[in-house]
Amino acid sequence: MGAIYFRAKAQVVDTESGCVLAITTGLASGLALIIAIGAQNAFVLRQGVSRQHVLPIVLFCAVADAALIGAGILGLGAVIESVPGLLLVLRYAGAAYLIWFGIGSVKRALNPDILEHGQASAMTLLKAMGTVAALTFLNPHVYIDTVILLGSIGNQFEADRWFFWLGASVGSFLWFFSLGYLSRLLTRFTSSVKFWRVLDSAIALVVFSIAGYLILGA
């Protein structure tokens, strides 16, 4: 009886260790891929600073990441890789949208009349959600990073793969909520037109760089 008890206890410990390893690996992997300068993060930062629709935007980003990672674990990555030209279409569609988005940032940076009393021009909830959805799903790298890469890493954990998903999803929620709400610490600068010009110029530089990267196929 004693031997059976200790074997059972060892199995429980091994199971718990596997779950913890899967969660921590998922958390670290998710954060490593999410915390990067990109169009989506730049948009979340701008909305956070201007305090416009922050909750629905960060919630959308985090839930989208969780759904895409889950889809990757379920095997969507293999489906995407098996469809010739799909990522290429997404590449050019994403580049076109980023160029359009960047032009809008340049206009705001160059034309102080677009700003109202030094504050960011208002954006409706519908437009904000449409923008963040486009920045998320028209980016081919989101499928490479979340669906293909994280999905394949998660499946390495086999029975514990959904604990990996949990860790990666928690990382996404932590990042986007932190970015959206901690960026409010910059609001003391928002009364300055110069601040918005610098921020929009930086956003334009980021999105144009990503668009060029997508077009050149680097």
Tell me the per-residue pLDDT of 35-57, one tens digit each, with 9 for 90 and over: 766 788 889 988 998 888 999 99
pLDDT tens digits for range 130-179:
999 999 998 888 888 888 888 888 888 888 888 999 999 999 999 999 99
User: What distance in Å separates the CA atoms of residue 120 and residue 114, rounded to the nearest whole number?
Assistant: 8
pLDDT band with cut points at 50, 70 and 90 for residue 89: confident
Chain centroid offset of residue 145 CA: 10
Which of 26-51 are b and which e, b meaning 16 or more Cβ less than 10 Å from the residue's Cβ?
A: bbebbbebbeeebbbbbbbbbbbbbe
- 83 CB-near residues (< 8 Å, 6+ apart): none
How far are the Cα atoms of 15, 28, 161, 162, 163 from residue 18, in angstroms, in the given order?
5, 15, 10, 11, 9
Q: What pTM, to 2 d.p., does this model score?
A: 0.75
pLDDT of residue 118: 43
User: What distance in Å separates the CA atoms of residue 210 and residue 136, rounded to the nearest whole number?
Assistant: 13
Least confident residue range of 56-60, 75-79, 117-121: 117-121
pLDDT tens digits for range 120-132:
556 889 999 999 9
